[in-house]
Amino acid sequence: MTSSFFTYDKPKVIQALRYHFISRREIKLTIILVNLFAILSALMYFLKKISPVALMMASGLWFILMISFWFILPYLIYKRSSTFRTRYKVDFGNTEMAIETENGKRSWEWSAFSTYVESPHFFHLYFNPQTFFLVPKDAFDNTDEARNILKAKINK
């Protein structure tokens, strides 16, 4: 159906990994709870119920969490994965999606994917909530055609 070559662009991959982490339910819940804890700590400090040290600890926890999800995790995953330094050919066929590199070829039936998510620069093709493959939108001459194939083949 549609086939093209692509390589990964580091800033776009970092953004896509951030999108993945922030969109996870458990991370959203953690961020909400830590934000509520920080707000409650600030309120209690202004009401003179806790010391400045406790407020600083709550603020530090919030800061560490945000730095981890926004910078450390995406850069760590990018650095450790050779996937993002390889040139690929992707083929969206009628019955399967195939990926080819200079080292070989691998294909998956469309039913192997549980869902897909579209971010600004990528299609995130999920096998399960933690395992996914990023396909750059700019790999396709016609992004709408690729989007329509994904809509038709993968149950969202």
In the chain (156 residues long), the average pLDDT of successive 10-residue segments reads 82 94 89 89 92 88 88 94 91 91 93 94 93 92 91 84
Between strands 132-136 and 96-101, the pairing is unpaired
- State the sign of the Cα–Cα–Cα–Cα dihedral 9, 10, 14, 20: positive
Instruction: State how far Cα 68 lies from the chain centre.
Output: 14
Apex CA 112: angle with CA 5 and CA 152, to 5°? 70
pTM of the model: 0.82
The hierarchical CATH code for the domain 2-8+86-153 is: 2.30.29
Domain boundaries in the chain? 2-8+86-153, 10-80
pLDDT of residue 55: 87
pLDDT of residue 58: 82
| Token couple for 45 | 């400090």
Tokens 């969206």 belong to residue: 92
pLDDT of residue 1: 57
pLDDT of residue 156: 62
CA distance 138 to 15: 15
User: Could you give the maximum distance between any two Cα atoms of the chain, in Å?
Assistant: 66
CA distance 134 to 8: 9
